[in-house]
Amino acid sequence: MTERLFEEKRHASLYQKYRFGPPDELKKLVLHYLDKKVRFPHQLAVDLGCGTGQNSCTLTAYFEQVVGIDVSESQVEQARAVSGFPNLSYRGAAIPDGSVDLLTAASAAHWFDAECFIKEATHVLKPRGCLALFGYGDNMKIHYESCGDRLNNIYEEVSKAISNYNYTSSKITGANSKLKILFETIPFFVRIEIMPIKQQLSIKNAVGFIQIFSMYQAYLRANPSAATALLERTTSRILEEMKVSSTEAKVDFIMKYFCVLACKPE
């Protein structure tokens, strides 16, 4: 990674609280692709940019061993605190060449140096080992009964307020352009899938999700009172539009996921 924006302990704790793992539809897509390429049993999956481990944990049911790697010790510390996954470990780096069945990055690959990443991925993957790089763009939508448009306007105003302060890293455009630079660097065949996913989130979690954005955290560091007030105002406006009193009320949160799949030749 060329930028290190996720190392504060408070940010890591928010990641653990509000970050959600990949949806089942995406997980099934990746595993179906892998099953056609790599013989059973699947031995080793490596999750790069693992953060607090949500994606790493989901992989443990399908591999003999899963390793999560992240440059942020605060994020890894939060990940290690989650028990119940004896075949999951976390480390800083150092994966043996030719040992990996599946190499994943969940909403992290846009931070990577493309050429260095692909070079290392080619080394550590087994012959016919697979890459799965996935995430979502910034076109998230919120729906609740008849006030979906108004809720989306609120969300867009939050995004605009953050970006107006120029705290949005240029690296985020990598996610929003579906990792175009990265997948153009992959020297073997690439398959790209795009899928809209709808999941239910509480208002509390939907607003909490905004807090984990690197641009919001930069805004918070620069202007704590304004950043805090922005989220408080956003929560109040959502409650008012939905005509509910509890932040546990659920909304449909719709995200367009993308997935870059590739298989190393034999």
Report the alpha-carbon angle 74-256-89, nearest 5: 30
The conformation of residue 145, written as its DSSP 8-state character, comes to T
Q: In percent, how much of the chain has pLDDT > 90?
A: 54
Report which secondary-structure segment, H or E, holds 48: strand 44-48
Q: What is the pLDDT of residue 217?
A: 85
CB 87, CB 42: distance < 8 Å: no
Predicted confidence (pLDDT) at residue 2 exceeds the cutoff of 50: no
Reported confidence tier of residue 115, pLDDT bands at 50, 70, 90: confident
Domains annotated for the chain, with CATH where assigned, are 9-263 (3.40.50.150)
Q: What is the pLDDT of residue 214?
A: 79
State the chain's mean pLDDT as an integer.
86
Q: Is 119 helix (H, G, I), strand (E, B) or coil?
A: helix
Q: In percent, how much of the chain has pLDDT > 70?
A: 86
Helices (H), 19-82: 24-37, 54-59, 73-80
Residue pLDDT, tens place only, 64-104:
999 999 988 888 899 999 999 999 999 866 799 999 999 99
Q: What is the pLDDT of residue 179?
A: 58
CB 15, CB 51: distance < 8 Å: yes
Reported confidence tier of residue 168, pLDDT bands at 50, 70, 90: very low
Q: What is the pLDDT of residue 135?
A: 85
CB 159, CB 138: distance < 8 Å: yes
Q: What is the pLDDT of residue 177?
A: 55
Reported confidence tier of residue 22, pLDDT bands at 50, 70, 90: confident
Predicted confidence (pLDDT) at residue 11 exceeds the cutoff of 60: yes
CA–CA dist 92, 110 (Å, integer): 19
Q: What is the pLDDT of residue 75?
A: 86
The conformation of residue 216, written as its DSSP 8-state character, comes to H
Q: Which residues make Cβ contacts (< 8 Å) with residue 195, sequence separation at least 6?
A: 25, 26, 29, 256, 257, 258, 259
Residue pLDDT, tens place only, 123-162:
999 999 999 999 887 778 999 999 989 999 999 999 888 8
CA–CA dist 92, 72 (Å, integer): 9
Q: What is the pLDDT of residue 33?
A: 95
